[in-house]
Amino acid sequence: MSDLDKKIFAEDKASYVPVFQRYKVVLDHGKGAKVWDVDGKEYLDFLGGIAVNVLGHDDPRLVDAITKQAHKMLHCSNLYYTQPQADAAEKLVKLSGLGKTFFGNSGAEANEGAIKIARKWATAQDPEKVQILTAWMSFHGRTYATLTATGQPHYQEGLGPVPGGFDYVHYNDLDELEQKMSEKTCAVMLETIQGEGGVFTPAPGYLEGVRKLCDKYHALLILDEIQAGIGRSGKFFAYQKYGVKPDIVTLAKGLAGGVPIGAFVVTDEVARAFAPGDHGTTFGGNPLACAAANVILDTVPQPKFLQHVEETGAYFKAGLNRLAEKYPALVKEVRGTGLILGMELTIPGNAIVNKALQKGFILNCTVGKVLRFIPPLIVTNDQVDAVLGVLDELLAEASEHPEK
Ligand SMILES: *Cc1c(COP(=O)(O)O)cnc(C)c1O
């Protein structure tokens, strides 16, 4: 640990709200899927800023677009039109097959807006049509509505009272969903692929079944693709992989490749529930963020780019499955698709993440035992091999010293 590291740790401890359990590394810059810390040590980044840096670090197209836009105008308020915002909204409408876009600044804000417009749409028909059903083990954000939508009680602890009207079902359980639904259901809100909760993909037929139930009870289907969207599944929208279309889809994380942004995209019918003044934002959709989003929206949906995600993801998953066969006592299951993959361990994952970090690999563990891989979408098979290699080493070590 260098003097510079120590200085920064001390500053952070003295002046930052202690909500993050940070790794003892001070990151400085990156290139592609690699990052370097302030002491010059190199790491392979298989977290990608939590599914944000989809083009990796220092992508010339993104840096160029941001630089040009910064010279022109960073911000101008939503009281005026800008070309970057109009372009980005139009691209999302075309890609999604939905009707209208709204931009915010984060995932939580995208979901907050989606919940608001769904309630407005439903209560115009029946003031009691307010029930919003979400899944256990979901993650939808940290604002009051979105932490209530999040089906993990610890996110709500000590924060009550939380907003009413939310109820929870088990992901992939259609019978339970049907039992809880009625004409009073406003919306069913699900992650197309659960990320934070441990990387769970929809069972065959599940999302189609949810879509049918929503149609039966005139409820909206809201799909949260803040993590699984933007090409990560191998399709631009993960729902395109499962043959369903939502009424509302939410995006954030990778949408502007690292610049803060969020969006909800809705059908024209749902969009009509909002009139001028019903929702708004100062920063959301500003020209800087939208200039960055336009690069992502021009790059990621290209068939070759998505094919790379699909193929690299399949290669990675096959390698993880080989490790699962080699270490059956340590690996319970490998899950996921494209470049959102999870390896559920029988032991806590953090020791592995920490040891990997020392060896120059940025990995991630969620819900205690699931190693979650959400790298930049530009990673190569060689980089995947490097990660598989270090996992092999660390799993071998863990089987020899099961007490650690
Ligand atoms: C990260 C995430 C959010 C919250 O996004 P923030 O930008 O942190 O507010 C919501 N939903 C899902 C599925 C996420 O992965």
Residues forming a β-bridge with 343: 334, 371
Cα atoms in the Cβ-side hemisphere of radius 13 Å centred on 83: 3
The verdict on pTM exceeding 0.85 is yes
Q: Atom 8, ligand 1: which residue's CA is nearest?
A: 107
148 with 186: CB under 8 angstroms? no
Ligand 1 near 135 CB (within 6 A): no
Which amino acid is it at 361? F
H/E stretch holding 216: helix 206-216
Residue matched to tokens 């439903």:
122
Mutate-to-test residue for ligand 1 from 146, 189, 226, 367, highest number of ligand atoms within 8 A of CB? 226
Tokens of 55: 């083009």
Strand 34-37 and strand 27-31: the pairing is antiparallel
> How would you write the pLDDT of the chain (404 residues) with one tens digit per residue?
899 999 999 999 999 999 999 999 999 999 999 999 999 999 999 999 999 999 999 999 999 999 999 999 999 999 999 999 999 999 999 999 999 999 999 999 999 999 999 999 999 999 999 999 999 999 999 999 999 999 999 999 999 999 999 999 999 999 999 999 999 999 999 999 999 999 999 999 999 999 999 999 999 999 999 999 999 999 999 999 999 999 999 999 999 999 999 999 999 999 999 999 999 999 999 999 999 999 999 999 999 999 999 999 999 999 999 999 999 999 999 999 999 999 999 999 999 999 999 999 999 999 999 999 999 999 999 999 999 999 999 999 999 987 55
Mutate-to-test residue for ligand 1 from 19, 139, 374, highest number of ligand atoms within 8 A of CB? 139
Please enumerate in sequence order all residues whose Cβ is within 8 A of that of 334, keeping only pairs 6 or more positions apart, or say none: 317, 320, 321, 324, 341, 342, 343, 344
Strand 131-135 and strand 331-337: the pairing is unpaired
290 with 88: CB under 8 angstroms? yes
Distances (CA, A) of 339 to 48, 55, 243, 296: 11, 13, 19, 16
Residue 237 DSSP SS3: coil
202 with 193: CB under 8 angstroms? yes
